[in-house]
């Protein structure tokens, strides 16, 4: 009996071993060269075209991570439909609402060492991934490249190019670093980023809402080198109700604070924002970063909103009004801001600024 059972047990063990190997191979396929990360909130209008532009890339060795950030439109259904058609798509569950949480979830889920960031309303040029991955492969390991960006083509809702003043981002690490204070120098939606570097610096931070990418670039600049390709590889869609156009003051405030935190870290000082979830009131920043921090942040906000009719029509108006009242500010650029308010259809606000500029009693305390 035992002699006849031994071969049966051996066959069973061999069958289980083969099944285990097959299950391991199917559960853990080889890691792709690139992870494509896209989070979407109520993006059904442009999402099909955005996904199609990723799946049509000439470079195909990627996984496509799609996360629906608690949408209330047809976003989830669009993602599910594409996932059924292409095995490269992985649907990532959203554990917490919000862009920062979504981006961190995507980087946590990525199996590839490099992550291409794709917005759900943009169009990727067919060779974007091929161009960026070839450039990454060309660079020596000792360079410690942590992020590679590219130029973008601004387009409108209809996908047609928008004429904008010529702006060319610096291409090499020294050029990017030299200009980081005045702006990111990297277009977030056109970047390929080192997954391990992002994890090592702590990912995206919730306190830097609407400036989370700039804060990340500053911390990555302390960990390795950065570069841009000169080519336009993404059609970047611009339209009035985008988040970035609705929160200019908060975005600029957090951008300025991110620079102060970066300056503290590079001076060997603690980053006072390292473990916070929300930013302190602006008036407390001198206590956090030293004397002059409040004045610096206010100036950065004003420098941003004063040339933007959209910002002046929204929360940027309060920043401008308070600047005129508090500092007794004067200057031709403030008169031009009042003129922009008139052209934007806000004559009362313009009159309030004008009254403050000429020092008319009472009028400057208007709206």
Task: Please give the C-alpha separations between residue 4 and each of 12, 14, 17, 20, in angstroms, as whole numbers.
Answer: 13, 16, 21, 25
Check: CB of residue 211 under 8 Å from CB of residue 254. Answer: yes
How much is the average pLDDT of 82-106? 95
Beta carbons within 10 angstroms of residue 60's beta carbon: 13
pLDDT category, 93, cuts 50, 70, 90?
Answer: very high
Does residue 334 register a pLDDT over 90? no
Q: Residue 18 has which token pair?
A: 């083969």
CA dist 167 and 158 (Å) reads 23
List of domains in the chain: 34-242 (3.90.550.10), 245-365 (no CATH)
d(CA 72, CA 348): 38
Instruction: Give me the pLDDT at residue 322, please.
Output: 67
Are 115 and 198 in contact by the 8 Å Cβ rule? The answer is yes
Quote the pTM value. 0.83
- Checking if the pLDDT of 363 tops 60, the result is no
> Order of strands, edge to edge, in the sheet holding 62-68?
89-91, 62-68, 34-40, 114-117, 192-194, 145-155, 225-237, 123-124
Q: How large is the average pLDDT for residues 12-26?
A: 45
- Judged by average pLDDT, the poorest of 112-121, 129-138, 252-261, 312-321 is 312-321
Q: What percent of the chain has pLDDT over 90?
A: 63
Rounded to 5°, the CA angle 49-97-71 comes to 40
Work out the average pLDDT over 63-67. Answer: 98
């Amino acid at each position: 009996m035992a002699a006849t059972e031994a071969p049966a047990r051996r066959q069973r063990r061999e069958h289980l071993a083969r099944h285990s190997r097959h299950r391991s191979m199917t559960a853990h396929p080889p890691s792709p060269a690139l992870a494509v990360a896209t989070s979407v909130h109520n993006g059904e209008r442009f999402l099909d075209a955005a996904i199609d532009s990723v799946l049509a890339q000439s470079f195909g060795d990627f996984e496509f991570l799609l996360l629906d950030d608690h949408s209330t439109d047809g976003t989830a259904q669009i993602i599910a439909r594409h996932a059924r058609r292409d095995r490269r798509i992985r649907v990532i569950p959203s554990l917490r609402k919000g862009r920062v949480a979504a981006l961190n979830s995507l980087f946590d889920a990525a199996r590839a060492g490099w992550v291409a960031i794709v917005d759900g309303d943009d169009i990727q040029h067919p060779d974007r991934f091929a161009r960026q991955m070839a450039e990454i492969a060309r660079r020596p390991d000792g360079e410690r490249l942590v992020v590679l960006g590219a130029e973008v083509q601004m387009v409108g809702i209809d996908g047609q190019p928008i004429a904008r003043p010529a702006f060319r981002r610096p291409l090499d690490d020294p050029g990017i670093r030299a200009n980081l204070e005045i702006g990111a120098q990297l277009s977030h939606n056109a970047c390929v980023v080192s997954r391990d570097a992002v994890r090592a610096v702590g990912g995206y931070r919730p306190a830097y809402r609407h400036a989370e990418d700039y804060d990340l670039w500053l911390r990555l600049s302390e960990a390795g080198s950065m570069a841009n390709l000169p080519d336009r590889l993404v059609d970047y869609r611009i339209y009035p109700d985008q988040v970035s156009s609705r929160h200019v003051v908060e975005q600029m405030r957090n951008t300025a604070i991110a620079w102060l935190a970066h300056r503290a870290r590079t001076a060997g000082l603690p980053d006072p924002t390292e473990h916070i979830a929300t930013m302190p009131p602006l008036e407390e920043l001198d206590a956090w970063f030293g004397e002059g921090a409040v004045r610096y942040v206010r100036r950065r906000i004003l420098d941003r909103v004063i040339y933007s009719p959209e910002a002046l029509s929204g929360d940027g108006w309060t920043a401008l009004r308070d600047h005129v009242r508090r500092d007794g500010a004067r200057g031709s650029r403030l008169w031009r801001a009042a003129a922009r308010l008139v052209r934007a259809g806000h004559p009362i606000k313009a009159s309030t600024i004008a009254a403050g500029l000429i020092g008319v009693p009472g009028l400057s305390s208007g709206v």
